[in-house]
Amino acid sequence: MTGMPENQQMTPAPGTAAKTVLVTGATGYIGGRLVPRLLEAGHRVKVLVRTPAKIAGVPWLADVEVIQSSLDDGDALRAALEGVDVFYYLVHSMAGGAGFEAKEKAMARTAAQAAVEAGVDRIVYLGGLHPSDVELSTHMRSREAVGQVFLDSPVDAVVFQAGVVIGSGSASFEMIRHLSEALPVMPAPSWVRNKIEAIAVRDVLHYLLGAASLQGPVNRTFDIGCRQVLSYAAMMQEYAAEAGLPKRFVLALPVPAPKLAGMWVALTTPIPLSMSLPLVESLQHDAVSREHDIDAVIPQPDGGLTDFRSAVSLALGRERDGQVTTVWSNAGADADPLPSDPDWAGHRVYLDDRTFSSDVAPQHVWTIIEGIGGKNGWYSMPLAWSVRGWIDSVTGGAGLSRGRRHPHLLAEGEAVDWWRAERVERGSLLRLRAEMRVPGRAWLELSVEPEGTGSRYRQRAIFFPKGLSGRLYWLAVLPFHSLIFPAMSRNITAAAKALQDEESKPASHTA
């Protein structure tokens, strides 16, 4: 990439001058964590999202201006950028297919032109760390091209290039974790020997935040990393050591095919094939910083950069404490809204509808509903759910291993195993939209309402078949539904009853 000379010295603005910033990608892993930090630093924040419902449950919602639009709408983007000093472009599709690179580049050009017309001072972009003398993968090549679009624009640009990002809920962390935990001895492709410079998500956010207050012009790329270079195999071994697992042995085999490796990752981790393939492709070459010029521009965080082992420890600690604020699986998924009852908007529909009345208070039933999935399970035939999840992973679906961000709390847009929370009416209704591989569209709706001195639990499995294959699929799973769903409704109510009984016990006192 081109830009200003690498040895030019710049200094941060004295203090932290308040800016007006626009963040795209606020529903994503990095953007969702950057917004509260920008607010804490005193900046005025706008967020541009396609689906505002996806940020309905975030704690910072009332403190930002929400603009509903998409990045390919140049007029709407220019209007959103009016009065904006710094434009954070934090979007990158993990989808592929014909025309992917051209579409990404066209969106970047639209964004750059809108920034010029609106008088924006700076664009900040997060790209990928990569060598300069090799043929890059489609996704890495696209990220480089997007960064170059911004550098070629009249608007000043800061383009960060980061490698593997380690943090609670990040795709790279989950990939390392699940691969490390899968087998004590693991055959792996030869790229596990490649040199990788990871970076903790907290340090990525430190640099992104610092870019808002730089005195310019800047207009160049900066490599960012933890300054600790490991092989991917060594990172897996370091993870195992930090997680208290026995020593892992990684056998690097001469298997260059990234598609085969991507399928293996999709099978053994919660990362679906659509994401695991570009992640694996990005590991085909060394990813190490070529320069450390960022030190002359943005000072390192207090205490220095976070080494890989410490980043793993922090991520595991946040997960144990239920403090994961964003996860990779909640990024980039648009809702596919369920047509309104009762006519289903003309769709052919199959329905499994069950109710269960009990003397359990509604709030206890809701606690079980909101905590469903992940380590809490699905309250019926766990083996059957596991087998179905394995089949889904093998066929390229989400599978069950995505888990959930928090064991008890759920917000709209979050992933729950192979489902996504499409609607959350806290205390009464949870609607989950299926992201498993099925010939049609499916939802699972769980609700509770008061009934006398107790409650009435309702459970609906809803399926819109696609063609003949969809109808045959529903007929094939009916025998399993007749076993799973009745037990599920009973067991959820029983779990709520146990919770109510436990909370009603008098507190014990010791002398």
Helix (H) or strand (E) holding 49: strand 44-49
Cβ-in-10-Å burial (0-12, 13-18, 19+) of 257 comes to exposed
Q: What pLDDT is stored for residue 454 in this prediction?
A: 94
User: Which residue from 72, 71, 79 is spatially nearest to 26, judged by alpha carbons?
Assistant: 71
Please write the tens of the pLDDT for every residue from 120-157.
999 999 998 888 878 888 788 889 999 999 999 999 99
**428 confidence band (pLDDT: 50, 70, 90):** very high
Residue 467 to residue 461: CA distance in whole angstroms: 19
The sign of the torsion formed by the CA atoms of 185, 186, 190, 192 equals negative
Give the mean pLDDT of 444-465. 91
Q: What pLDDT is stored for residue 141 in this prediction?
A: 87
Give the mean pLDDT of 221-239. 93
Q: 204 near 162, Cβ under 8 Å?
A: yes
User: Of 69-73, 197-201, 462-466, which gets the smallest average pLDDT?
Assistant: 462-466
Q: What pLDDT is stored for residue 8 in this prediction?
A: 41
Q: What pLDDT is stored for residue 406 in this prediction?
A: 86
**98 confidence band (pLDDT: 50, 70, 90):** low
**190 confidence band (pLDDT: 50, 70, 90):** confident
**334 confidence band (pLDDT: 50, 70, 90):** very low
Q: What pLDDT is stored for residue 281 in this prediction?
A: 77
User: Of 74-78, 101-105, 184-188, 319-323, which gets the smallest average pLDDT?
Assistant: 319-323
User: Of 63-72, 102-111, 261-270, which gets the smallest average pLDDT?
Assistant: 261-270
User: Of 75-79, 309-313, 356-360, 390-394, which gets the smallest average pLDDT?
Assistant: 390-394
Instruction: Outline where DSSP puts E strands in 381-487.
Output: 415-416, 419-425, 429-434, 440-451, 454-465
Question: How do strand 440-451 and strand 249-253 relate by DSSP bridges?
Answer: unpaired
Give the mean pLDDT of 215-243. 92
Strand partners of residue 24: 48, 89
**14 confidence band (pLDDT: 50, 70, 90):** very low
**482 confidence band (pLDDT: 50, 70, 90):** confident
The two three-digit tokens of residue 508, written as one number:
């014990």
Q: What pLDDT is stored for residue 340 in this prediction?
A: 40
Residue 456 to residue 42: CA distance in whole angstroms: 47
Q: What pLDDT is stored for residue 367 in this prediction?
A: 95
Q: 212 near 43, Cβ under 8 Å?
A: yes
Please write the tens of the pLDDT for every residue from 70-91.
888 999 999 999 999 999 999 8
**330 confidence band (pLDDT: 50, 70, 90):** low
Q: Given a cut of 70, is residue 58 above it in pLDDT? A: yes
Helix (H) or strand (E) holding 208: helix 201-211
Q: What is the DSSP string of 67-88?
A: EE--TT-HHHHHHHTTT-SEEE
Q: What pLDDT is stored for residue 338 in this prediction?
A: 44
Between 164 and 468, whose confidence is greater? 164
Q: 423 near 434, Cβ under 8 Å?
A: no
Q: Going by C-beta distance under 8 Å and a sequence separation of 6 or more, which residues neighbour residue 226?
A: 197, 198, 199, 200, 203, 305, 306, 307, 308, 311
Q: Per this entry, what is the length of the chain?
A: 511
Average pLDDT value over all residues in the chain: 84
- CA–centroid distance for 257 within its chain: 26
Between 172 and 364, whose confidence is greater? 364
Q: What pLDDT is stored for residue 66 in this prediction?
A: 95
Residue 239 to residue 244: CA distance in whole angstroms: 9
